[in-house]
Amino acid sequence: MAGRARSRSPGRKNKNAVTSATQRRSNVGSLPKKVEDQASTQQRKSSSPSSNTPHHSSVNYSFVLYAMLAGAFGALSGVAGKLSVTDSVALAVYFRVATFIANGFCTAQMWRYYLKALSLGSTPTCQVINTATNFIVSAAVGFAVFGEEVNSLWCLGATLVVCGLGLIVSDPGVPTPS
């Protein structure tokens, strides 16, 4: 009988077949043992204080770019608005219409990027970045396009405003992005 296969009755199940099917169901979606061991070892290394690798937080600082874009578009909106209402007979109507449309576009982009920055960062931080960028772009464009004077008193005033807003941000009660 040792060489012959044993016949089973139709109602009787193979114990090994049931066990292996149960094991397959429990292993669905799980990692092989070697991969699990490597992942847990790597996790222990990264969380240990003696690890030589620097631990970087996962804070998303893309709100800084969006706040800067909002400030720049806000300044450009002001420039386009100023160009569209300049008291000059020489400006043609189509130029006034074009600058008026540019004003609307820049204003829309300013709000778009400012709201995106606010959704990713804290409100006071976004406000400081937005205001500082707006001052810088306004000064540069005002000097280049309108020949406005940007003297040391203007720079001092702009710096004081930005520093005042910076004091608000440095308040420990201000929430930081998570």
pLDDT computed for residue 11 by the predictor: 53
- Higher-confidence residue of 31 and 74: namely 74
Q: Which residues contact 68 (CB under 8 A, 6 or more apart)?
A: 129, 130, 133
pLDDT computed for residue 148 by the predictor: 87
Q: Where are the beta strands (DSSP E) in 30-172?
A: none
User: How many Å separate Cα 85 from the centre of its chain?
Assistant: 36
Q: Is residue 53 predicted with pLDDT exceeding 60?
A: no
Q: pLDDT tens digits, residue range 84-129? A: 887 766 667 888 888 889 999 999 999 999 999 999 988 888 988 9
Cα(128)–Cα(116) distance, rounded to whole angstroms?
A: 15
pLDDT computed for residue 93 by the predictor: 80
- Higher-confidence residue of 78 and 29: namely 78
Single-letter code of the amino acid located at 132: A
Residue 129: how many other CB atoms lie within 10 Å: 23
pLDDT computed for residue 60 by the predictor: 76
Q: Whole-model pTM above 0.75?
A: no
Decide if 120 contacts 177 (C-beta within 8 A).
yes
pLDDT computed for residue 111 by the predictor: 96
For the record, the structure tokens of 177 come out as: 């992005």
pLDDT computed for residue 178 by the predictor: 57
Single-letter code of the amino acid located at 55: H
Q: pLDDT tens digits, residue range 123-143? A: 888 988 998 899 889 989 988
Q: Which residues contact 177 (CB under 8 A, 6 or more apart)?
A: 59, 60, 63, 120, 121, 122, 125
Q: pLDDT tens digits, residue range 143-172? A: 898 888 888 998 899 889 888 877 877 777
For the residues of 136-163, what is the DSSP string, one character each?
A: HHHHHHHHHHH-----HHHHHHHHHHHH
Q: pLDDT tens digits, residue range 27-44? A: 544 545 554 555 555 544
